[in-house]
Amino acid sequence: MVYGTKAMMPMEFEHKTLRTTIALDMTMSAAQQERLLQLNALDEIRKLALQHKEIIQNQCMKWHDRYIKEKTFKLGDWVLLYDSSYKDNLGKSQTHWLGPYEVIETFSNGAVRLSIIDLIKFKLLVNGHRLRLYHEPLSKDEFL
């Protein structure tokens, strides 16, 4: 017990209907009905909030997916790999692309297995979003 507060029955901590009946001079069944109506209203508000959250998430997904470009790589393609260590460094004279690499294998989740085009075959597995196609430079004969 705390000095200055009303005494409450232990049952009233779980079921607040007794306090409601005393405060509003209602019968027990009317208080229970009022409490049920409040709980039903709360459930409806929660359902509306969940529906609203789903709508907003779908809108955000559509907005985000609108800017994703689908990249498809074939076996034998040459690609450049984005060097993420330069993400915050905006130097003009530094290249942000490494490579070229050769595509060995592509996976359904967007991952790509690469091989360095050197004497030593070193295999590397990277995310396909960090790659772009490498176009071989034109020779003078092809240019003219």
Q: pLDDT tens, 43-79?
A: 899 999 999 999 999 999 999 888 877 788 989 889 9
Predicted TM-score of the model (pTM): 0.50
Return phi, psi of residue 102, to 5°.
Answer: -105, 135
Query: For the residues of 33-83, what is the DSSP string, one character each?
Result: HHHHHHHHHHHHHHHHHHHHHHHHHHHHHHHHHHTPPP----TT-EEEEE-
Query: What is the spatial distance between Cα 76 and Cα 91, in angstroms, rounded to a whole number?
Result: 32
Taking the CA atoms of residue 23, residue 44, residue 62 and residue 84 in that order, the dihedral angle to the nearest 10 degrees is 40
Q: Three-state DSSP class for 128? A: helix
Mean pLDDT, to the nearest integer, of 17-34? 69
pLDDT at 40: 85
Query: What is the spatial distance between Cα 66 and Cα 89, in angstroms, rounded to a whole number?
Result: 27
Q: What are the structural domain ranges in the chain? A: 10-66, 78-143
Q: Which strands make up the sheet holding 131-133, listed edge to edge?
A: 123-127, 111-116, 97-106, 78-82, 131-133
Query: What is the spatial distance between Cα 57 and Cα 64, in angstroms, rounded to a whole number?
Result: 10
